[in-house]
Each structure stands twice: as C-alpha cells, then as structure tokens.
Amino acid sequence: MTLQMRAGDIATRVEAILAELAGLEGPLLPILHEVQATFGHIPSEALPMIAEALNISNAEIHGVVTFYHDFRQEPAGRHVLKLCRAEACQSMGSDLTAKRLQALLGTQIGETSPDGAVTIEAVYCLGLCSCAPAALLDGVPLGRLDDEKIIGILEKVRA
C-alpha cells in the first residue's frame, strides 16, 4: 500500500518536472538533475515517463543516466561527501586524508555507510586546488582538510 502511494507520488512529481522542463532545448540533463534533486537519485519509475515525454527510447535514457558520474540509481546517504582525488589535492596529501575519512566514517569511496548516514564519492577537482586537500560536504566547500576539519565532518555526519 505504502509502496503504491510512493510510486504515485513519484509519478506526480516527475510529471510536474516534465511539465516545467520538457519544453527546453536539449531538456534531458536539466530534467535528470531536477529528478535527482527531488528524490536524491533517479528512480527507475521515472525513466519511462521521461522517455515518453521526450519521445526517445528507454535505452537511450538509461545510456545517458549511466554515462554521467553524477546520476545515481540508488538513494544516497543522508549526507554526501565528495572527496577530491585529483592531482593538486594529492600533492597535499589527499590520499592519506581519504584513508582516514574512510576509516572514521566506516565506509569506502563509492559506498554508503550501513547506517545510511553518509555516501562518499570521488570527484576529480573542485576548483579548490589552491587550498587542497578539498571536499564538498552536502554542497558546502571545505579546503585545507586537516584533523580539525576531519572532526568537523564527522560531527556533521553523525548529527
């Protein structure tokens, strides 16, 4: 029963997104971003609806969703920590920072912690290379990650 309600709820919200964005030139990425912003991931129920509205095949949308690193097909944790893995951050010891954060948060890059508190994702540069190592926690930029800031991340995630 609840599941059915949820499916209906998804359909209504996706329809609203489609009504707003389907008229754009090249609407697919804006639609997918909005769907993900709404649900935290791209629910599989949304794909056929988008396909029908844009008159493209399900397979094509699936191809797009899987091509881009940003789009998630599974829900993320309550917090999303994007850790920069690129060169400038490496030059400031980001590999060690990442190891410590993974150990402290009890989950690996690319995974969600068992309690659903946090998903850690790898990103390749946040444009914060002048204050490395860098990360984004729920969209908030963090630079020069040190012990104090790592503790700050833990507190936020566990709150």
User: Residue 143: what are its φ and ψ, rounded to 5°?
Assistant: -125, 165
For residue 15, the SS3 value is helix
C-alpha span between 39 and 30 (Å, rounded): 14
143 binds, among another protein, ligand FES, none (CB under 5 to 8 A by kind): another protein
The first and second tokens of residue 15, run together, are 């329809």
Q: How far is the CB of 69 from another protein (least distance, A)?
A: 4
Q: How far is the CB of 151 from another protein (least distance, A)?
A: 15
Q: What is the dihedral of CA 66, 70, 73, 76, to 10 degrees?
A: 160
Q: Which of 109, 125, 136, 150 binds ligand FES (CB under 6 A)?
A: 125
Q: Is 86 in the site for ligand FES (CB under 6 A)?
A: yes
Instruction: Using the rule CB under 6 A, give the single segment among 10-18, 46-54, 99-107, 119-127 that binds ligand FES.
Output: 119-127
Chain positions contacting another protein, by CB under 8 A = 25-30, 32-33, 54, 63-64, 67-71, 82, 86-92, 123-132, 134, 136, 139-144
Q: Which of 51, 64, 129, 136 binds ligand FES (CB under 6 A)?
A: 129
Q: How far is the CB of 118 from another protein (least distance, A)?
A: 18
Q: Is 98 in the site for ligand FES (CB under 6 A)?
A: no
Cβ closer to ligand FES: 38 or 90?
A: 90
Asked if residue 88 lies in contact with residue 132, where contact means CB atoms within 8 angstroms, the answer is: yes
C-alpha span between 8 and 98 (Å, rounded): 40
* H/E segment holding residue 142: strand 140-142
The total of other beta-carbon atoms located within 10 Å of residue 110's CB is: 9
